[in-house]
Amino acid sequence: MYLKNCWYVAAWDHEVLADTLLQRTILNQSLVIYRREDGSTVAMDNRCCHRHAPLHLGRKEGDCIRCMYHGLKYDATGRCIEVPGQDSVPPKLGQRVYPTVQRQRWIWIWMGDPALADASLIQDMFSLDSPEWRWLPSYLHYKCNYLYIADNLLDFSHLSYVHEKTFGGSPNIAEARPEVSEIERGVKVSRTVRNTVPAPYHKRLGNFTGPVHRWFNYDFVVPGILRLEGRVQSVDNADDDMTGALRFHSCQALTPETDRTTHYFFMQAHNFRLDDATITESILQSQRAAFLEDKTILEAQQAMIDSTPDAPPMRPIAADAGLARYRRLLQKMVDAESAS
């Protein structure tokens, strides 16, 4: 139940260096990802068509890759161009390659029909590539289905509970009603929390001594791409007075590895005190600490679901509006794809 004709994030650009053969499983497919001499990326089925040994244990030779079991050599289009001890190459030999695009620090991959791969569908993750924002890249591997992480991201009420001591700080976030609306290929969520205590880590960063307003505005589009603008400012300021406000922009991407594991690529950028590297590092650590709280509850949720296959269905509450809308939209797209 995956959307195929869409762009998934396959890797951070720095995960694939000039000589890297990166093994990465995406939608249950084992891939090897590497770079041509010109720096462009190649994603190829990792299972050698000959004896099913993995190519990531192979050798990069220029733009080509050689399986280091029996020496079959493939070019960057997946064509087999050499079989040791044999003069001609049987036409059935060859590897499937997947369209990839590197943009703004992420390597995107198209797992569906290559003829439909349209790079204009790739979201603009502007803060990944802007001198006005500072950030550090991060990655976590979650032992749960990616939709449980999507659910989590589509209902920030969990900040009050899962992240009580990090991102949250008070039940006010859960009490605030978000606005959820459908956008192209996704949903948009806006939540304003007025006159609340600052989150513990905002307090540290912003030196707030009294109550604050908090804004969360984000869109979440298929297959799991989040762009979030966050703002915290003192209640003493007018809404449009940014003096002393903290502004964040976060880019996050969920890529299913298997039905029960997920690659999670993320960063959280700040546009204040750009010259202070300790701020950037501190935000990274705070975000990772909070995401590890998510990881704990989500992996426990997955384990619970796995261990009770006959459980009654989940019971909806009002806060599910965002995730329910996203799941319906995704299901519709998956159905349309399998019908075509």
> Alpha carbon of 36 to those of 64, 230, 289: distances in Å?
8, 38, 36
257 scored as a contact of a copy of itself (CB under 8 A): no
92 scored as a contact of a copy of itself (CB under 8 A): yes
Give, as ranges, the residues between 169 and 188 that touch a copy of itself (CB under 8 A).
Answer: 171, 174-177
Minimum Å gap between C-beta 227 and a copy of itself is 23
Q: Which of 67, 76, 125, 221 binds a copy of itself (CB under 8 A)?
A: 67
333 scored as a contact of a copy of itself (CB under 8 A): no
Q: Which of 71, 112, 137, 244 binds a copy of itself (CB under 8 A)?
A: 71
CB 59 within 8 Å of CB 68:
yes
Determine the residue type at 327. R
Q: Please identify, using beta-carbon distances, which residue of 115 and 314 lies nearer to a copy of itself.
A: 314
Q: Which of 40, 118, 161, 259 binds a copy of itself (CB under 8 A)?
A: 161
36 scored as a contact of a copy of itself (CB under 8 A): no
Q: Please identify, using beta-carbon distances, which residue of 41 and 152 lies nearer to a copy of itself.
A: 152
Q: d(Cα 224, Cα 151) in Å, to the nearest integer?
A: 10
Q: Which of 4, 79, 83, 244 binds a copy of itself (CB under 8 A)?
A: 83
Applying CB under 8 A, which part among 68-76, 113-121, 126-134, 248-256 lies near a copy of itself?
68-76
Q: d(Cα 48, Cα 34) in Å, to the nearest integer?
A: 15
Applying CB under 8 A, which part among 128-136, 155-163, 224-232, 277-285 lies near a copy of itself?
155-163
52 scored as a contact of a copy of itself (CB under 8 A): yes
244 scored as a contact of a copy of itself (CB under 8 A): no
63 scored as a contact of a copy of itself (CB under 8 A): no
The CB density around residue 193, as the number of other CB atoms within 10 Å, is 23
Which residues make beta-bridge pairs with 243?
A: none
Residues for the chain: how many in total?
340
270 Cβ contact list (under 8 Å, min separation 6): 133, 134, 135, 246, 247, 248, 279, 280, 283
Q: Across the chain, where does the E strand assignment appear?
A: 7-12, 22-26, 29-35, 41-45, 59-61, 64-66, 73-74, 80-82, 97-98, 100-103, 106-110, 138-142, 179-183, 186-196, 212-221, 225-234, 246-258, 261-270
Minimum Å gap between C-beta 319 and a copy of itself is 5
Minimum Å gap between C-beta 307 and a copy of itself is 7
Give per-residue burial for 8-32: e unless 16+ CB within 10 Å, then b: bbbbbbeebeeebbbebebbebebb
191: left (phi over 0), alpha (psi -120 to 50) or beta: beta
122 scored as a contact of a copy of itself (CB under 8 A): no
330 Cβ contact list (under 8 Å, min separation 6): 3, 222, 223
328 scored as a contact of a copy of itself (CB under 8 A): no
Name the residues that contact a copy of itself, by CB under 8 A.
Answer: 25, 28-30, 46-47, 49-54, 57, 66-72, 83-86, 90, 92-93, 151, 155, 157-158, 160-162, 164, 171, 174-177, 296-297, 300-301, 304-305, 307-308, 311-312, 314-319
